[in-house]
Structure 1
């Protein structure tokens, strides 16, 4: 009986320990709001050079369980400072002492009453030196840390999400048409809304900065070189055959290699934009040509035409995607609508693509980020990512939109 009692006590202690294992939210996973200005957040040092108090520094996590949560900062200051620390509606002013080494500084305690996304928010209040604080990490302890989720990696982009369009068996997609509409406020800097993707490339529109937006079309080289195009044999490189007026074209690397083209164009949130891809196989090569419909001119514009080696087939693996490619604002939500996708076969038959399979990238698969989704509404498919809100789709989900039954009318310019 004594042994059973001791064993039961040991198991109970182990269970409590498992429920309250401390976790550390790394400093390099933080985000600054409203922008990463007068503060640096990087993989090597976490939060440093925090000199301005016009922003907050935020650490996000998802609590799967309720219970107590104790917050401790791993921080230091060059001359002493004060921060306001907030979590779950509880705020405390914390003094950061002068220290060349990081110190464990108790901040606050709170009670998590329901599962969901939360943020530890730091706000600079007062400083005697140059910086408010350098923050190496945020420690969390308590019952609510059981099965807690947070991003442990310095990759601060949100998950990329995709719509994969099945093509009827035996049909060759010579032409691929699609449309995109981005709601106002969802066009964050560092977002790529891709309409017409296929096995060798992708075509869509991007927000590159507050001042610049682009229409982008790229085709991958043959082979598997990941970074440097000058390592790719000439016979494996795609070749630029033509490009439109004011279109920039070059080779690219760093995400595979290939031919890249873009046209700087100030597309607007709320408007609908049209994309058209063409594929012409010849022997063991295929020529891929991208056209963008310019509403202001009421005509199709040639973006670029590339010849891809070691191919020789029509477009396959047709898809759209939504990508957040900037680290600094990987916490901000973005959403796009994708619709009216069609193919025209090599025999002249138009086929409407009304079904899509939802997939996502390695960030989602590793559960580094849980905030993403997609579906169908108001006659469109939609994709969204980031914002730290619950997912509304799972890998492999099938979406369906109503058919319009009317294929696009396309008149290309004569050259």
Structure 2
């Protein structure tokens, strides 16, 4: 009897096991079929290099997002956000082209309130199906990726996102190439219409107010654009803001060193605390800026003048009015050779110039635009046409917007909002009717001055805190190299078998007392260890020193000038390098000179 019972139990267990195995096989088969079906839906490849950002720590964007996609992914706190715009609703299916470096990891992918988890364990790049999500609205979709756990130090690498499903049926928009500009986001513009009876325009007046919370780092709110340059305010860092005025050279190049002497922009005059030099990379020309802590929520005024000269040049002059100060102040005046024109193409724009900040929205309001002709009559400009740049017009990014709000215009860009305005749309704001009240007789009038480099014959280095004389820089690196007239040699702080902590200094003896209007600095030409913050001190006896203040140099190869507010007479001067652009204790400088202004 017991044998029969045991036989029946064994038969029952075998039957259940066979059924279970059959069921497992079916589940595995179904899962494989589902993955294959999902993979077949993934029709479009979205490169992470142009469409993904680190959200929790923007400082990691450059090290983690590159042309190869997502790398150096080690932190569970890192939130990688990718943006894709869809023109239909329904299912959006996702896959990741990813690989593990050594071990394996678990990753969470989220759209809205829906999350799915996947494992990354393959050592070669391959498509891992994620699943399908419901998209209920057209426009930009925010896709978040975050690590959950890992057996190695890295979560893996992801080169691409693959998408498919109903939501892509009517079209998709994302950055497909030219990732630098795509990550910066679209620039937006307002082109103002000059009244037809205005005649020759000598002055252009505009106002800007940046709404609170929209003054993001990397933003340039350009107020007074014209055919040959631009003038506005910037947020350059968390601690620095600028008033910027630039004029392009008539010679077309991205390298200011290539501009012939007869086409170089000439500085006529600059205001107090304004720094001047040259710029490149987006055309070339003369640039001026003043570090000024302007505030969101306050309204700032801009006045730009243009007047042709008798020798086929045009002088451009920019003034800035801050409510905190209460009067018009000169920024700079430049002379542009081979140009004979009054103001043309008055416009404004808004741009983001930092790739890591292209994921955030900014807005500027542009108020009360006027032009004044050569006869002194003001004309209000109430009509403007909104446009975007190539990043917007080619469909790489559609987060651009502009138009009118009552009595003013506005511009908005970046951040992947979906309610964009159509480019090339014209708007008419409500007229103000009251012309700007400006007493032109009280404006600081520019007069041309010539900067002449002083002869450095007989100049010597009488003291320095450090130099690289251990062979680390070959035949150069010495302090004396800043006076040798060769921009390819340079002083460098000691580093080969030694260390030197900032600040560093070099003391120059001019051999006799001279009256000096300013100094010229040329950075090391490969732009390694360039000086950012410096101080200049002067002395009659190399014992008692007077500080002329702290100054900032750009990371650029061209000669940069620092003009003193008043001329100074002295025999010795001390160059003190305080901070380098790379943040290290090392510093370098190719040439140091001085000039007189006549």
CA displacement at 1:346 relative to structure 2 = 0.5
CA displacement at 1:360 relative to structure 2 = 1.2
CA displacement at 1:55 relative to structure 2 = 3.5
* Alpha-carbon separation, structure 2, partners of 1:97 and 1:20: 23
Match of 2:358 among 330, 341, 346: 330
CA displacement at 1:132 relative to structure 2 = 2.5
Match of 1:399 among 409, 427, 446: 427
Q: Deviations over 1:329-385 (max 9, x none)?
A: 212111100011111111000111111111111111101111111111142100101
Match of 1:306 among 327, 334, 348: 334
For the pair shown, which has the larger CA radius of gyration, 1 or 2?
2
Equivalent residue of 2:409, what SS? strand
Residue 189 of structure 2 corresponds to residue 162 of structure 1? yes
Question: Alpha carbons of 1:65 and 1:53: their partners in 2 closer, same or farther (altered >3 Å)?
Answer: same
* Alpha-carbon separation, structure 2, partners of 1:110 and 1:55: 22
Q: Is the 8 A contact 2:298 2:323 kept in 1?
A: no
* Alpha-carbon separation, structure 1, partners of 2:241 and 2:191: 25
CA displacement at 1:145 relative to structure 2 = 2.3
Give matches, 1:204-223, under 5 Å.
204-223=232-251
Aligned counterpart, 2:53: 31
Aligned counterpart, 1:59: 82
Aligned counterpart, 1:370: 398
Residue 117 of structure 2 corresponds to residue 93 of structure 1? yes
CA displacement at 1:20 relative to structure 2 = 5.3
* Alpha-carbon separation, structure 2, partners of 1:130 and 1:207: 37
Q: Is the 8 A contact 1:63 1:148 kept in 2?
A: yes
* Alpha-carbon separation, structure 2, partners of 1:385 and 1:53: 30
* Alpha-carbon separation, structure 2, partners of 1:341 and 1:37: 38
Greater Cα shift, 277-286 or 63-72 = 63-72
Q: Is the 8 A contact 2:42 2:94 kept in 1?
A: no
Aligned counterpart, 1:149: 173
CA displacement at 1:255 relative to structure 2 = 0.1
Q: Is the 8 A contact 1:80 1:129 kept in 2?
A: yes
Q: Is the 8 A contact 2:403 2:427 kept in 1?
A: yes
Q: Is the 8 A contact 2:41 2:93 kept in 1?
A: no
* Alpha-carbon separation, structure 1, partners of 2:77 and 2:318: 44
Equivalent residue of 2:395, what SS? coil
Equivalent residue of 2:76, what SS? coil
Equivalent residue of 1:328, what SS? helix
* Alpha-carbon separation, structure 2, partners of 1:250 and 1:22: 50
Q: Deviations over 1:247-272 (max 9, x none)?
A: 11111110000111111111111111
Equivalent residue of 1:343, what SS? strand
Question: Alpha carbons of 1:285 and 1:331: their partners in 2 closer, same or farther (altered >3 Å)?
Answer: same
CA displacement at 1:244 relative to structure 2 = 1.2
Q: Is the 8 A contact 2:299 2:323 kept in 1?
A: no
CA displacement at 1:158 relative to structure 2 = 1.3
Aligned counterpart, 1:252: 279
Match of 1:262 among 289, 295, 300: 289
Residue 141 of structure 2 corresponds to residue 114 of structure 1? no
Greater Cα shift, 43-52 or 297-306 = 43-52
CA displacement at 1:38 relative to structure 2 = 4.0
Ranges in structure 2 where 5+ consecutive residues have no aligned partner:
1-39, 446-598
* Alpha-carbon separation, structure 2, partners of 1:54 and 1:290: 47
CA displacement at 1:204 relative to structure 2 = 0.3
| Higher percent of residues as helix | 2
Q: Is the 8 A contact 1:38 1:52 kept in 2?
A: no
CA displacement at 1:98 relative to structure 2 = 5.6
Q: Is the 8 A contact 1:27 1:41 kept in 2?
A: no
Residue 60 of structure 2 corresponds to residue 47 of structure 1? no
Residue 154 of structure 2 corresponds to residue 127 of structure 1? no
Give TM-score, length-normalised by structure 1: 0.91
Larger relative contact order (Cα-Cα within 8 Å, sequence gap ≥ 6)? 1
Aligned counterpart, 2:163: 140
* Alpha-carbon separation, structure 1, partners of 2:394 and 2:328: 41
CA displacement at 1:192 relative to structure 2 = 0.5
Q: Is the 8 A contact 1:213 1:266 kept in 2?
A: yes
Give TM-score, length-normalised by structure 2: 0.64
Ranges in structure 1 where 5+ consecutive residues have no aligned partner:
1-18
The alignment covers a number of residue pairs equal to 395
Equivalent residue of 1:302, what SS? strand
Q: Is the 8 A contact 2:54 2:60 kept in 1?
A: no
Q: Deviations over 1:214-249 (max 9, x none)?
A: 110000000321x21111111122111111111111
* Alpha-carbon separation, structure 2, partners of 1:41 and 1:274: 41
Aligned counterpart, 1:350: 378
Question: Alpha carbons of 1:295 and 1:113: their partners in 2 closer, same or farther (altered >3 Å)?
Answer: closer
Greater Cα shift, 24-33 or 68-77 = 68-77
Question: Alpha carbons of 1:332 and 1:414: their partners in 2 closer, same or farther (altered >3 Å)?
Answer: closer
Give matches, 1:208-247, under 5 Å.
208-225=236-253, 227-247=254-274
Equivalent residue of 2:355, what SS? coil
CA displacement at 1:297 relative to structure 2 = 2.1
CA displacement at 1:116 relative to structure 2 = 2.0
Q: Is the 8 A contact 1:35 1:329 kept in 2?
A: no
Question: Alpha carbons of 1:256 and 1:38: their partners in 2 closer, same or farther (altered >3 Å)?
Answer: closer
Q: Is the 8 A contact 2:92 2:167 kept in 1?
A: yes
* Alpha-carbon separation, structure 1, partners of 2:107 and 2:276: 48
* Alpha-carbon separation, structure 2, partners of 1:212 and 1:125: 38
Q: Is the 8 A contact 1:22 1:145 kept in 2?
A: no
Residue 213 of structure 2 corresponds to residue 185 of structure 1? yes
* Alpha-carbon separation, structure 2, partners of 1:214 and 1:414: 20
